Structure 1
């Protein structure tokens, strides 16, 4: 028997008098109308019913508005907002990468109906339509925001091959909003058909930018070292700042990878032995526990995890070597205990070689880690850290250790190929850091092994370049604004009677620009921590035009990490179980996830957890619990 029927029987048996029925606990009697029909309205939803004898229609309605199986005063049943329910369901699909068929799973429907009987089940096609609806809505909102942004927009882009061998082009926007907060938004993740050359990629890019309405706002494009990117950027010049003089930014992470990977080939035999040692230890539970015992016997406790590396990522190889070196005596002890079972044990000379390499590569690892962060500006970090790399390489070229000297020479060739001329636009960023300004550029160049003439030439290039950019695109704004203000003051009263005074006083200062005045001010203490965005936010009234330039330059990403992280999620969206998913759905899922949740790439964290293992702690586990 249904709940409704049981409740109807209960109500009918409570009283023989219709006026004393408990139905009237849930309904209000209405005045008698001209038709003479008695009516009542539900106090829950206001729906009007005829109060006929028996009131069966009213009894049937009660479970829709009230909890009928609980004692006490009437309790209203919360009505399910079907629209909000479907939107929340679509959000869960977007955020957690559930398949659209998730809404048709029997257990999912049982759960939802248990939580609220009013739930109307939906199909996978409806779920797909809801996701695309949210994508269209959020894209419209983001498009409006981008068009209102007063700063310029920096881009990162790269190509990715999916499991179906389709090539996807990822486009990510980076900008600093009016509140001086660094923002990152994935704009496109579209399938690109061949040919994959610079000319056609540029056409796709222009199409994307026009669709977003930001083709006139592009400042820089950060790309890797692929040859087609040279042609790609040239084809975009018609829409770029200063005819594209400052547009191309090479991915610093990729350049660092090329520099170090080539050098590591010098000692690949030693690295391979360490790699096999790590694999050997992590190959079985018995070896792990034995290795943990060796760590404690040799008093090698250091709290580090045993790292396994990804061969194509040199920074993970660095972590592997660093952690292995910390446990070198434990590895020696394990080799003695296991004998011929452990054939890949590095010799004493090879361990010493690893120690030397770790010291040499530590600055490179620290800089790579620094560049990989995208939650705060990194462009102002570029110049000093590239300089540190160059200086480190030059200092080791004549090292008495022939291996280190050979590695440094290989690095020097790669460095000269990609960074012989420091990126012009990124060099400006350190000048706009009030702790350093232009003096640090001069100081750094003089510390390198270059002639005074070469040093002076490089300094002149950077100084003329920053003035060219300011004068052409930012300094002109002050002249336009002051002339506009002057003409408007003739016709209308302004709230500020001294509006235009700043440009008037500049005439008595030898026509100094805001850039000149900023450079002439004393530098701040470089040893103190500084939020460079906060500095320019606080000083934007003093340097209104220069602060605009600072906001644009400080938003430049120095690596393509943002685009590459979208590839990681793209691989999960378009997995082997969803390889037939339309490319439009892939873009909608990936972009909407970024816009709504701005989540970090969990996949990278998962990989790190799988590569690193805390074996040292296993020694404290009782023997009976080890298996």
Structure 2
């Protein structure tokens, strides 16, 4: 028994010795591996360090390599530069950090270059710049101010550039709006170059512009006398909303059935099956309106009337409240009524051509619709028209002078249309209003005449001046009629009180109107001051169009109901941290 125990102890001791020997060998192997790894890292670092120099030392290599192979060398150079700015090579393993190292600095430089180029273009303009300012809020109640600049170049092309989209301080009152616009004007050196600023018709905006003019008016063109323009499309929205509030339940059943159809995918599938079975054709599909956008109600009715039969059948099959024939008649009447204002909104919201000269025409068209006696036979539309006309009187009873001048600058309208407007709207004060308009026209003309004279010399030349200029060089050779003409020109030049000059303003206003759409509409080069003046007045654009076009590229992150913008979307798309130059 004792011999057995001794043998077991000897075996355990031998195993222990073998294990210790194996552990020591493993430790030595690990140390060798560490040393080899360190040597590899050193070699790799040396290779990266000398690779750019080695590539640069081969002048013929780029012309012999495939473009994809040449890009490898360029990539290696960027990797080396990136690593030299990092404490370790770990940052190179993160794609997001690599993008931050390579892309963002270049993007910032590109934006600064674009900003400098745009700044230089604006500085060289002979005309002024129009601004459209808009307030937005994110779903975190953070306020953003977007500013779009418009200008017309020497080729008479209208340009629009988003020059600012920045977060403004809380509370979002008139001071915050004023500070945001002031910062934009200062950053772009636009204080003395801004012509108008278009904003929504809100008390905050009205006070902000009033304070802005009080602070910077002395530096502005004409002391900022007509700098504030209220967005016509926004005013029109206020008018229609006021009317729809009077008849909130006019299309309640139609709206309810649309809400049921669009509530779930299964119901939409059922409705689509009914549409196909009835052979109906529609492009846009059903639309559910939102409370604060009247044109959404118009769009909803526009599509619902196309699917009237399908909606009635869906409601009957799904045991829903089927809209009656009276409900559909109300929907048709309201759709017909709102269609007139939809056309006006589209006219105001055009962004590819000037729209200020159309204001008076659209104003008279809106007034004509509201005062149409046809609505008297329809109680629903009569209440709607009366409520809207009350707002019309509040906002548009006295149009801004800049909008009247914009109509005069249209060769197809001139002062005749403004006179027609006054005789139609307020006959008693028509002549007094026209005298006031001519005073403003003369005041602006004299200023623009001075600008054009400084750039190109005299804006008009009398017959006597022309004779004098021709006679001074060859007076000794003049005989008969030419000598008499020269003598009279000299006499007239010394007696300027006897000379009657017709300015280009008088010539323009007294010349016959041209027919809209003809080639004569493009003859404004004959009136140089008109060209300079029109470049400014054509910048009076209305802001509603900018709400869509400015942010349409944001995509899914943009809330179509216009209730807010997600802050993450703003920053992912490049907003928030600076300005956008597009």
Distance change in 2, residues 1:539/1:531 (3 Å): closer
Deviation at 1:275, TM superposition (A): 1.9
Cross-structure match for 1:511: 501
Following superposition, the deviation at residue 356 of structure 1 comes to 1.1
Residue 550 (structure 1) aligns with: 534
Aligned to 2:233: 253
1:307 pairs with 287, 304, 321, which one? 287
Q: Matches of residues 65-464 of structure 1 in structure 2 within 5 Å?
A: 66=65, 77-79=69-71, 82=74, 122-199=98-175, 201-234=177-210, 235-236=212-213, 237-284=217-264, 287-288=267-268, 290-292=270-272, 294-295=274-275, 301=281, 305-338=285-318, 340=319, 342-343=320-321, 345-396=322-373, 399-448=376-425, 450=426, 452-464=427-439
Q: What SS class does the counterpart of residue 251 from structure 2 fall into?
A: helix
Quickly say closer, same or farther: Cα 1:288–1:424, change in 2 above 3 A: same
Q: Is the 8 A contact 2:138 2:566 kept in 1?
A: no
Contact 1:396 1:408 in 2 (8 A): no
Q: In the TM superposition, what is the alpha-carbon distance from 1:258 to its structure 2 partner?
A: 0.5
Q: Larger deviation: 411-420 or 395-404?
A: 395-404
Aligned pairs for 1:468-487 within 5 A:
468-471=443-446, 473-477=447-451, 482=457
The residue number in structure 1 matching 2:484 is none
Cα 1:483–1:321 shift into 2, 3 Å: closer
Runs of at least 5 residues in structure 2 that lack an aligned partner in the other structure: 1-54, 79-90, 474-489, 559-563
What is the deviation of 1:126? 4.1
Contact 1:104 1:123 in 2 (8 A): no
SS of residue in 2 equivalent to 1:270: coil
Mean Cα displacement is larger for which, 141-150 or 285-294? 285-294
Hey, what's the Cα distance between the residues in 1 that align with 2:569 and 2:269?
A: 41
Deviates more, 1:203-212 or 1:548-557: 203-212
Q: CA contact under 8 A between 1:156 and 1:560: conserved in structure 2? A: no
**Cα distance, 1:152 vs structure 2:** 0.4
Choose 1 or 2 for highest CA Rg. 2
User: Deviations along 1:185-207, whole A, 9 cap, x unmatched?
Assistant: 11112222235443453344233
Q: Distance in 1 between matches of 2:537 and 2:196?
A: 9
SS of the equivalent of 2:126 reads coil
- Residues 274-315 of structure 1: CA distance to partner in whole angstroms, max 9, x if unpaired? 222223233455544554565566665466633332332211
How many Å apart are 1:453 and its aligned residue? 0.7
- The whole-number CA distance in structure 1 between the counterparts of 2:544 and 2:68 is 55
Separation (CA, whole Å) in 1 of partners of 2:570 and 2:132: 28
- Structure 1 residue 559 displacement after superposition: 2.2
**Count of matched residue pairs:** 479
The residue number in structure 1 matching 2:478 is none
Q: For residue 256 of structure 1, give the secondary structure of its aligned residue in structure 2.
A: helix
Correspondences of 1:533-548 after superposition (within 5 Å): 535=522, 538-540=523-525, 542-548=526-532
Paired with 2:351 and 2:62, the residues of 1 have a C-alpha distance of 54
The 3-state SS of whatever aligns with 2:371 is helix
Relative distance call for 1:168 and 1:303 in structure 2 (3 A) is: closer
Give TM-score scaled by structure 2 length.
0.71
Q: 1:314 and 1:217 mapped to 2: Cα distance?
A: 36
Cα RMSD (Å)? 4.2
Name the CA distance, whole Å, in 1 between partners of 2:432 and 2:281. 53
1:157–1:222 CA contact under 8 A, matched in 2? yes
1:521 matched to 2:479: no
SS of structure 2 residue aligned to 1:184: strand
Please say if residues 165 and 576 of structure 2, whose CA atoms lie closer than 8 Å, have aligned partners that are also in contact: yes
**Residue 316 of structure 2: SS of its match in structure 1?**
helix
Distance 1:337 1:196, change over 3 A: closer
Check conservation: 2:262, 2:268, Cα contact below 8 A.
yes
Q: Is residue 251–residue 559 contact of structure 1 (8 Å, CA) maintained in 2?
A: yes
